[in-house]
Amino acid sequence: MGSLAHTTLPHPFDPLSLEEIQTAVSAVRKAHGDVKFNVVSLHEPRKAEMTAWLEAPDRAPRPARVADIVVVAPGSKVYDGLVDIASAKIIKWEHVEGVQPIITMEELQLVEHEIRKDPRVIEQCVLSGVAESDMHKVYCDPWTIGYDERHGSLVRLQQALMYYRPNVDDCQYQYPLDFCPIWDADQQKVVDIDIPKIRRPLRLEPQINYTPAFVEEKYGGYRKDLKPINITQPEGVSFKLTGREIEWQSWKFHIGFNYREGIVMSNITYNDKGNVRPIFYRLSLAEMVVPYGNPEHPHQRKHAFDLGEYGAGYMTNSLSLGCDCKGSIHYLDAHFPTRAGSIKTVKNAICIHEEDDGILFKHSDFRDDSTIVTRARKLIIQQVFTAANYEYAVQWVFHQDGTIQPDIRLTGILQTYSIGKDEDTHGWGTEVYPGVNAHNHQHLFCLRIDPNVDGPKNTVFMVDAVPSDAPVGSPENYYGNAFYARRTKLATTGQAMTDYDGSTSRTWDICNTNKLNPYSKKPVSYKLVSRETPGLLPKENSLVWKRAGFARHTVHVTKYSDDQIFPAGRHVPQTSGEPSRGLPEWIGDGTESVDNEDVVLWHTFGVTHIPAPEDFPVMPAEPITLLLRPRNFFTSNPVMDVPPSFASTPSQVAAGGKGVLDATDRVSKLAFGEGEAGAVQGVNGTDGVNGKSCCS
């Protein structure tokens, strides 16, 4: 049994505890000696046995705890394994050839120290204008090489994106160097250096930075006109956690976390007036790709798969109270293996909190001033991960009305390259500061939606708002004003490869066609509303197009399969894209039926980033958001039972305010005090009757 002395058993969806990671590591060590651990993570229960257990936890067998393992053994041999935790037995062990497992921060950190000692790197630094005695001021962001046809997949390689940083506190990305060493992680040495045809010597332009000292020196310090904003919940929070299962405002779900996807939410249900209805079996960000658009060699290699190559879990921040999250916060930690097999804990990896969310609904009657106004709040499950230069704040926002809103904020620092004086960017980038060329790029995320809309058998429809086909003057459309929502069933995986169309306000409905809404007679559904959906700009058959098959379309739909979690494949570094791994493999000839099946919808969304000086030296956060909304799911507005702040009926207004419901908070107050300049007189709370101008 190893060291598993649990008093309470973990939920089958819980991430592996540190004891469980230790059990798995010991079992592997015992059988296979000195290996390096790249992954020790929960192997999630198979859906069939998990749903049986969720339906009858007292009767159905509890799914076993199993660790998913990836190790690199001496001789750079990669093994995929499974360890049964209860018995500490290896139940699968497979040598996988021709793949490179996810890269860890430990592997990357080593590169910087080592390349500084390489004579050819020193030579290039000196050529660029760095004194040999200043090599300790040379840094690199080591990326996995992605794929380079000259080197293939068999040797584990990193590309070092080089920078000079004269003082430790300078901005890391201000002084790029123009060459790119290639590091062989197996031999532990620099094996090549990519040197551009046009050289760009180091340009030591005046420093730009975001540190308090720089702001003090350059701008005379911080702005002084900000008064504190505090969020208070005097009676505590309105959510409850049992283990990692959260209950909040009719929602109930499990919060998982893994090295790769980061936050994973499972078994998401909504209590519809006593009827607990399943909505999603599992939701996660499953992949992303950041292709850069400069055609000069070797920038084609700059297309990071931040989840598949580095891991949103492995790169996650330890969040801090009052900074990353404000108010009354609950945190969850994350445990990972180190490569040597010890444990690394990220404290406060996930934060959970509520926020006020403006008006939930309101109406006031223009005739008589009767009013109802109800405020909304939202529940936020958040992580922030740092992918070298960029930060991604990933919020899963739950709304009271059944909406789920994935919301990602991009911040951090642009990935930069050098540019010579008077050099033309050719439009492939922007000189965001003298000497700093920020190349155009895209951030394309892949949201994995495993729906369970009133049951596992679901069908996806594409919905377009279009005018009637009938011409003006025809009997069907005499005045020409007719329009409707055209629904196209995506019956096969091939038909389901679809793209966003803003001209028809395109959305996708995830329906349970076996259950109709009694009023609308339409299938109960969850609608994907997502408008930030740029197409993949690298061309068909380009390296990125081949490697990031998931990014070819806004929506793909596949039939559920337990092991289809990662849309660019299980081992992403150094895939050539020939064949394309993940989604294109699963879709195959596109003939598989996804009509009334257990399906998975893969949604690619994001932004195309043409940098600008405002993004430098640190980017103000750019939000990207989308919605999963109940449509024809409920029989009426599901939040009418949320207590209003103020409600008066016409008869109550006529009776001088008698019986009016006034639960307006007494903490809100006039900005400038009553009677002072700018104050609005007669708003709700001053006469207790007219709530019209309340709380907006």
Among ligand ABN, Cu ion, none, what binds residue 394 when CB lies within 5 to 8 Å by partner kind?
none
Among ligand ABN, Cu ion, none, what binds residue 304 when CB lies within 5 to 8 Å by partner kind?
ligand ABN
Within residues 419-478, the interface with ligand ABN by CB under 6 A covers none
Q: Report the residue number, 302 or 609, with the smaller CB distance to Cu ion.
A: 609
Closest CA to 398 of 218, 628, 686: 628
Closest approach, Cβ 212 to ligand ABN, in A, equals: 26
Among ligand ABN, Cu ion, none, what binds residue 182 when CB lies within 5 to 8 Å by partner kind?
none
Using DSSP, state whether 16 is helix, strand or coil: coil
- Beta strand spans in 85-156 (E): 89-96, 138-144
Closest approach, Cβ 564 to Cu ion, in A, equals: 29
Quick one: which segment of 228-236, 330-338, 493-501, 603-611 binds Cu ion (CB under 5 A)?
Answer: 603-611
User: Does residue 426 contact residue 414 with C-beta atoms inside 8 Å?
Assistant: no
Spatial separation of the C-alpha atoms in residues 137 and 114, rounded to whole Å: 13
Residue of the chain from 140, 157, 246, 304 that contacts ligand ABN (CB under 6 A): 304
Joined together, the tokens standing for residue 295 give 């055609």
x/- letters, 316..345, toward ligand ABN (CB under 6 A): ------------------------------
Spatial separation of the C-alpha atoms in residues 547 and 574, rounded to whole Å: 9
Residue of the chain from 175, 179, 310, 526 that contacts ligand ABN (CB under 6 A): 310
**619 in contact with ligand ABN (CB under 6 A):** no
**439 in contact with Cu ion (CB under 5 A):** no
- Residue 532 phi/psi, 5-degree rounding, is -100, 85
Active-site position among 306, 454, 595, 615: 306
Angle at 215 between CA 210 and CA 220, to 5 degrees: 170
Q: Report the residue number, 254 or 609, with the smaller CB distance to Cu ion.
A: 609
Spatial separation of the C-alpha atoms in residues 143 and 162, rounded to whole Å: 11
User: Does residue 458 contact residue 451 with C-beta atoms inside 8 Å?
Assistant: yes
Q: Which amino acid is at 598?
A: D
Closest approach, Cβ 175 to ligand ABN, in A, equals: 18
Task: Tell me the CA distances in angstroms from 274 to 245, 250, 377, 658, 688, one per residue in order.
Answer: 18, 9, 21, 33, 35
Spatial separation of the C-alpha atoms in residues 444 and 289, rounded to whole Å: 5
Quick one: which segment of 119-127, 218-226, 541-549, 608-616 binds Cu ion (CB under 5 A)?
Answer: 608-616
Q: Report the residue number, 389 or 513, with the smaller CB distance to ligand ABN.
A: 389
Pairing of strands 416-418, 507-516: unpaired
Closest approach, Cβ 78 to ligand ABN, in A, equals: 20
Q: Is 221 left (phi over 0), alpha (psi -120 to 50) or beta?
A: left
In the annotation, is 306 catalytic?
A: yes
Q: Report the residue number, 317 or 596, with the smaller CB distance to ligand ABN.
A: 317
User: Does residue 61 contact residue 53 with C-beta atoms inside 8 Å?
Assistant: yes
Joined together, the tokens standing for residue 318 give 């330890």
Q: Report the residue number, 306 or 450, with the smaller CB distance to ligand ABN.
A: 306
Taking the chain, what is the end-to-end CA distance rounded to the nearest angstrom?
Answer: 58
Q: Report the residue number, 413 or 627, with the smaller CB distance to ligand ABN.
A: 413
Element (H, E) at 272: strand 262-272
Pairing of strands 404-412, 390-399: antiparallel
**253 in contact with ligand ABN (CB under 6 A):** no
Residue of the chain from 14, 141, 354, 391 that contacts ligand ABN (CB under 6 A): 141
Closest approach, Cβ 438 to ligand ABN, in A, equals: 14
Spatial separation of the C-alpha atoms in residues 351 and 348, rounded to whole Å: 7
- Beta strand spans in 43-172 (E): 66-73, 77-84, 89-96, 138-144, 157-164
**13 in contact with ligand ABN (CB under 6 A):** no
Joined together, the tokens standing for residue 215 give 């702001």
**314 in contact with ligand ABN (CB under 6 A):** no
Spatial separation of the C-alpha atoms in residues 260 and 587, rounded to whole Å: 23
Closest approach, Cβ 372 to ligand ABN, in A, equals: 48
Q: Report the residue number, 83 or 304, with the smaller CB distance to ligand ABN.
A: 304
| Residue count (the chain) | 696
Closest approach, Cβ 551 to ligand ABN, in A, equals: 16
Spatial separation of the C-alpha atoms in residues 49 and 60, rounded to whole Å: 8
Among Cu ion, ligand ABN, none, what binds residue 306 when CB lies within 5 to 8 Å by partner kind?
ligand ABN
Residue of the chain from 148, 306, 354, 401 that contacts ligand ABN (CB under 6 A): 306
Closest approach, Cβ 390 to ligand ABN, in A, equals: 6
Q: Report the residue number, 47 or 302, with the smaller CB distance to ligand ABN.
A: 302
**299 in contact with Cu ion (CB under 5 A):** no
Among ligand ABN, Cu ion, none, what binds residue 387 when CB lies within 5 to 8 Å by partner kind?
ligand ABN
Quick one: which segment of 230-238, 303-311, 352-360, 427-435 binds ligand ABN (CB under 6 A)?
Answer: 303-311
Active-site position among 292, 390, 392, 526: 390
Within residues 82-111, the interface with ligand ABN by CB under 6 A covers 108
Q: In 129-281, which residue ranges form alpha helices assigned H by DSSP?
A: 212-219
Quick one: which segment of 116-124, 202-210, 304-312, 458-466 binds ligand ABN (CB under 6 A)?
Answer: 304-312
Among ligand ABN, Cu ion, none, what binds residue 609 when CB lies within 5 to 8 Å by partner kind?
Cu ion
Among Cu ion, ligand ABN, none, what binds residue 310 when CB lies within 5 to 8 Å by partner kind?
ligand ABN
Using DSSP, state whether 609 is helix, strand or coil: strand
Distance from the Cα of residue 9 to its chain's centroid: 29
x/- letters, 369..408, toward ligand ABN (CB under 6 A): ------------------xx--------------------
Q: Tokens 């599901």 correspond to what residue?
A: 638
Closest approach, Cβ 535 to Cu ion, in A, equals: 17
**609 in contact with Cu ion (CB under 5 A):** yes
Q: How many residues of this chain bind ligand ABN (CB under 6 A)?
A: 9
Q: Tokens 């930060």 correspond to what residue?
A: 391
User: Does residue 249 contact residue 379 with C-beta atoms inside 8 Å?
Assistant: yes
User: Does residue 130 contact residue 558 with C-beta atoms inside 8 Å?
Assistant: no
| DSSP 8-state assignment for residue 498 | B
Among ligand ABN, Cu ion, none, what binds residue 352 when CB lies within 5 to 8 Å by partner kind?
none
Task: Tell me the CA distances in angstroms from 475 to 397, 419, 471, 480, one per residue in order.
Answer: 47, 65, 9, 10
User: Does residue 402 contact residue 638 with C-beta atoms inside 8 Å?
Assistant: yes
Among ligand ABN, Cu ion, none, what binds residue 506 when CB lies within 5 to 8 Å by partner kind?
none
**156 in contact with Cu ion (CB under 5 A):** no
Q: Report the residue number, 315 or 565, with the smaller CB distance to ligand ABN.
A: 315
Spatial separation of the C-alpha atoms in residues 179 and 124, rounded to whole Å: 7
Distance from the Cα of residue 633 to its chain's centroid: 26
Q: Report the residue number, 261 or 306, with the smaller CB distance to ligand ABN.
A: 306
Quick one: which segment of 148-156, 237-245, 302-310, 392-400 binds ligand ABN (CB under 6 A)?
Answer: 302-310
Q: How many residues of this chain bind Cu ion (CB under 5 A)?
A: 1
Where does this chain bind Cu ion (CB under 5 A)?
A: 609
| Residues belonging to the active site | 306, 390
Where does this chain bind ligand ABN (CB under 6 A)?
A: 108, 141, 143, 304, 306, 310, 315, 387-388
